[in-house]
Each structure stands twice: as C-alpha cells, then as structure tokens.
Structure 1
Amino acid sequence: MKLSIRSMLDYSFERPTDVLLQVEAAQIPEQFVETAHIKVLPSDHFARVVAQDGIGERIWIRAEGRMTVNYTATVAIQRKVADCGQLPQIEFRHLPGETIQYLMGSRYCPSDEFQTFVEAEFGQYYGGRRIIEMRDWIQRSFTYVPGVSNSETTALDTFVRRQGICRDYAHVMITLARASGIPARIASVYALGVDPPDFHAVAEVFLGGEWHLVDATGMAHESAMAKIGVGRDAADVSFMTSYGFASFNAQSVEVTQAD
C-alpha cells in the first residue's frame, strides 16, 4: 500500500525557544519514503539528529514568534503482516539486548502494578494469543473520548477511567504486554482510517523475533501505517517537544491512499 501524507503545525513562541520535531516518516526496511518535503518557517537553526533505536530522525530548530511546519510525503508500505495470534513469546534469556528496556515500566506505563490483573484476566493465554486477547479487551472496555486525558495521564489513570485517545489506548496495551513479560514500545505513525485525522499512536510488541504493530483503538491496520518513531512511551515520540512556552494556533494531519 502507498500512503500520501500531509501534516501542518502552527505554533507561536514569545521568546527564542529550542524545539525538537519528530514528524517525518522514517526511512526503514518496512517502508520506503518515495518523496518527502518539509518546510519550517522561520528556520534560523535546523539540524537533524537520529531518533530512538535509529528509527527516523528528529529535527532541532530555534523558534521565535510564529512558527509553521509543513510536511508532505509519499510512503510505500512494505511491511510483512503476520497473524500476531500465532506468534510465540520469546523466552527472557533469548531476547535481544535492544528489547530489554521495553520489558520495564516507564513514565506512562507502570507495568509492575498490572501483573496480578494480567494473570487473573489473561493467564490462560500465551504469546501472541495473549496480545490479541488484551487488544480485544481494551477495544471492548474503553471508549474513545478526546479531551479526557492530558500530558500527565498514565496507563493506570486510563485503566480506571476507561476513556481516552490513541496514546492512552497504546499506553494500556504496552503496560499489559510488559506485565506479561513481552517487550512492548510505542510507535508514532501516520495511519489510514484514523478518525478524527491526527498523528496516531499504537503499541509495538516483540513476538517471534520481530516487532509487530498493534492498534488497540481498532482504527488502523498494520499494513496501512507509516512509522514516524518509537520509544518507551509517548514522552519519547512527541511530534513536538518545546523547551519553553508554546502557544497553539492550528494543526492538521491528512493521510490518504495514493494511486
């Protein structure tokens, strides 16, 4: 599948502020960025740095006054989609070193607090089958409600409230997977079918020796996602991190299937 992507950010800064952007689709084996263009105005400073796990890039800019970012791309998705429910869980002693950090709790994913719940609710399932059962449980039990969460909301908060947006769903999915001993991380993506259109967040779990995308909202399919970046939780994949006060003006994301 080939995706056509357009995104726009419009923010204002009262004083010179360092800003870290992560909005470009990553050039990685599972997807090929055929065309891409990003325009940042004003752009007194523009420097690329490698993003987490070497997936994608971040951009340092220095912003003052009104800043606009316009990004367009065409991305061919070449990801091999497996039946996640049939994939085995990798035993701890055989896990690659780069996956170990994704077994552990993080700022938004306190997985240690969910081990008893996971065993009671999903203890009869193993490996990929457990992941599917957890994904389906989240879809049945939670309601997609914009505005009920904020930058401080953790997976535990969402678990209690049973409401949230894509990042909240992803945090719960990641937390339950880690509580099961399955490495899990967050992936920021551009995805076909997201409603309302926006930057999307999904879980990515390590099963059968590979990473597999899992969308607990049910809105997007693995074959129709263009990955931007990955991390321990949403703090690592924010599309914009401002090291100073930023005022929101406008933002838009459009993802369509390209001819």
Structure 2
Amino acid sequence: MQLNAGCELSFDAQEPTPLVLMLRPRSGAGQWIIREEYQITPAVNVTEFTDMYGNLCQRLVAPEGPFSIHFSATVQTADESDVAPGAPYTPVEELPDSVLHYTLPSRYCQSDQLGDLATQITDGVEPGYDQAEAIRQWIHKNVTYQYGTSDASTSAVDTADKRIGVCRDFTHLGISLCRALNIPARMVVGYLYQLDPMDLHAWFEAYVDGRWFTFDATQEQPRGNRITVAYGRDAADVAFTTQFGPMTLNDMKVWVDADEPTADVNEKKSESIPTFSTSIGSST
C-alpha cells in the first residue's frame, strides 16, 4: 500500500538549543520512499549523518523562542509482515558480527534479570521463531495498554512487574525476553497504518533463521503497512528528538493515511514505483 505519513512538532526553546532529530525513513526492506518533505521554522542550518545502526539523523541548533518541525513522506509499504512458524533458532556462534550486540542487556532492556520469566513463557516451545511469537502473544494477553502509566525511565523489568504500559514498554519487554533466550532483538520505531489511537509507534524485531522478523505485542495479529524510521537496542538509541538544553514540546501531531494516486500516476506505477510481492522482513 502507498501511504502518506508524517508528523508536526512544536517547541519553545528557552535558549539556543542543539538538537539531533531522527525523523527521516529510508528505503529498505518492505518500504520505498517515493517523496518526502522536511520543513523547519524558523529556517536554520541542518547537517545529516548516519548513525551506527544505519539511521538518518539531522543535527541543528534551535533558536530561542517558538520552533517547529514538519516532516511528511509518501511511502510504498508491504501489505503483510513475514511470519515463519517453526523457523529455527540461530546459534550465537553463527550470528553475524553486526547482530551480536543485540543479544546483550541495554539501558531499558535488562535481559539478564528476566531469564526465569522468559523460560516460563516459552516452556515446551521450539527454539527460534516460535519462542519470539510466544513472547509476543504473552505480552499482548498479560500486559495492559494504557497511556500515562509509564515514563521515560520505565524499563522492561518495571513493565514485567506492573504489567501495564504503552508500545515503548511492550517493545522493551519483548526485546528483553528474547535476549534472555539468546535471541537477538532490536527496537523499531516508525508509523503503522490504522494504529488506534494514532501516534508514533514502536515494535521489535527478532533474529532467527538468519534474518529479522517483525513482532508487535500491541496488535492481535501480525500486520503490515509499516514505515520504519529507526532501529536500535532500545529507546535510548531511537529517540525522534534528542535535545541538549531547555526546550518544551508544546504539541505533536501524527498522521498515516492511504494515498490515492491519480490515474496518470497509477498507470506509471509499475514502471516507477517498486511494489512488494513479499512482505516485511530483512536479513540486514
């Protein structure tokens, strides 16, 4: 499906404040960026770099006073997420070097403290994909989704104890439980079509059978039509905005709508816009 997605952020800076933004998706597994627009008001100098996870990051200094960011994109997305029941566990000694660090505990994902829970959830389940899916289903059934029940300091251990949170918390718990079983897992942030309520979203990917698979514990069933913006070990790596000074977020708007191409665009679609006969998934 072709989607129009984006966000608007309105700030007030108490003084000139350095910012690192992570708002631009890039073409890759399951998505193709057709068009994008980036507006910053007032205009400032912006530089861009690629971080260690392959995410596009923008650096700037917001001037004192009101400051706003508008980003929008049209993206061709995969309609389904890959599922692979029975896909085998990838032994640690066979993991690519670039995947190894996703087996380790991180700031919000204390996998070293959740081994007993992970073992309990996956008792009798075949190692690999089925374990990650059992974890996803357990979180979906046993953790309540509710706004205002967690904050920026809430960790996977907190969520396992309180059994309540939002997509960020569901994701940290899923990552931690997978890593506790030596299954590499990473955080993904971006957009999901028909998410209710609409917001920027988070889910996790687990590495089994030599590739990454998508798992979203907030949803009843696997869903496609996702736009990935960034990957990381946990929320510390994938913040949409990181500020280095006093700055207040006054308002945020997020949208994801189905794009309806004109007849002329539709006729040229097969020539100019990639479509995805396969679904979301990646070996990188």
Taking the TM superposition and a 5 Å limit, the aligned residue runs for 1:148-167 are 148-167=149-168
Paired residues of 1:8 and 1:251 also in contact (CA < 8 A): yes
The within-5 A match list for 1:136-215 is 136-215=137-216
Q: 1:140-172, CA deviations, whole angstroms, 9 ceiling, x for partnerless residues?
A: 101111111111000011111111110000000
Task: Please show how residues 91-106 of structure 1 align to structure 2 within 5 Å.
Answer: 91-106=91-106
Superposed displacement of residue 78, structure 1: 4.2
Secondary structure (helix, strand or coil) at the match of 1:158 reads: helix
CA distance in 1, matches of 2:67, 2:48: 18
Name whichever structure is richer in strand by fraction. 1
Q: Which amino acid aligns with 2:101?
A: Q
| 1:233 and 2:231 matched | no
- Alignment match, 1:62: 61
Name the aligned partner's letter for residue 135 of structure 1: R
Give the partner amino acid of 1:112.
D
Cα distance change on mapping 1:90 and 1:80 into 2, 3 Å: farther
Instruction: Give per-residue Cα distances to partners, 1:87-138, cap 9 Å, x unaligned.
Output: 2110111100011000000000000001122113313112111111111110
Counterpart-to-counterpart distance in 2, 1:149 and 1:160: 12
Tell me the distance in 2 between the aligned counterparts of 1:250 and 1:212: 33
The within-5 A match list for 1:123-138 is 123-125=123-125, 126-138=127-139
The Cα shift of 1:39 comes to: 0.5
Aligned length: 258
- Identical aligned pairs, as a percentage? 29
- In 2: Cα distance, 1:71 partner to 1:80 partner: 25
Whichever of the two has the greater Rg, that structure is 2
* Preserved contact between residue 52 and residue 229 of structure 1 (Cα < 8 Å): no
User: 2:22·2:241 contact (CA, 8 Å) conserved in 1?
Assistant: yes
CA RMSD of the aligned region, Å? 1.6
Residue in 1 that maps onto 2:247: 246
- Distance apart, 1:221 and its partner CA: 4.4
Q: Is the 8 A contact 2:121 2:138 kept in 1?
A: no
Give the drift of 1:257: 1.9
Q: CA deviation at 1:188?
A: 0.6
| Matched AA of 1:123 | D
User: In the alignment, does 2:11 pair up with 1:4?
Assistant: no
Gaps in structure 2 of 5+ consecutive residues: 261-284
Greater mean alpha carbon deviation, residues 175-184 or residues 64-73: 64-73
Q: Which runs of 5+ in 1 are unaligned?
A: none
TM-score by length of 1: 0.95
Match of residue 273 from structure 2: none
The residue type paired with residue 241 of structure 1 is T
CA distance in 1, matches of 2:106, 2:113: 12
Cα 1:79/1:101, change in 2 over 3 Å:
farther
For residues 79 and 20 of structure 1, the distance between their equivalents in structure 2, rounded to whole angstroms, comes to 31
Contact 1:166/1:201, CA 8 A, preserved across alignment: yes
- Tell me the TM-score normalized by structure 2: 0.87
Shift of 1:84: 3.4
- Superposed CA deviations along residues 16-60 of structure 1, whole A, max 9, x for unmatched, are 110011112222243110010010112322011103422x30111
Q: Specify the code of the residue in structure 2 equivalent to 1:119.
A: T
- The answer to whether the Cα contact below 8 Å between 1:99 and 1:183 also exists between their aligned partners in 2 is yes
Deviation of residue 80 (structure 1)? 7.3
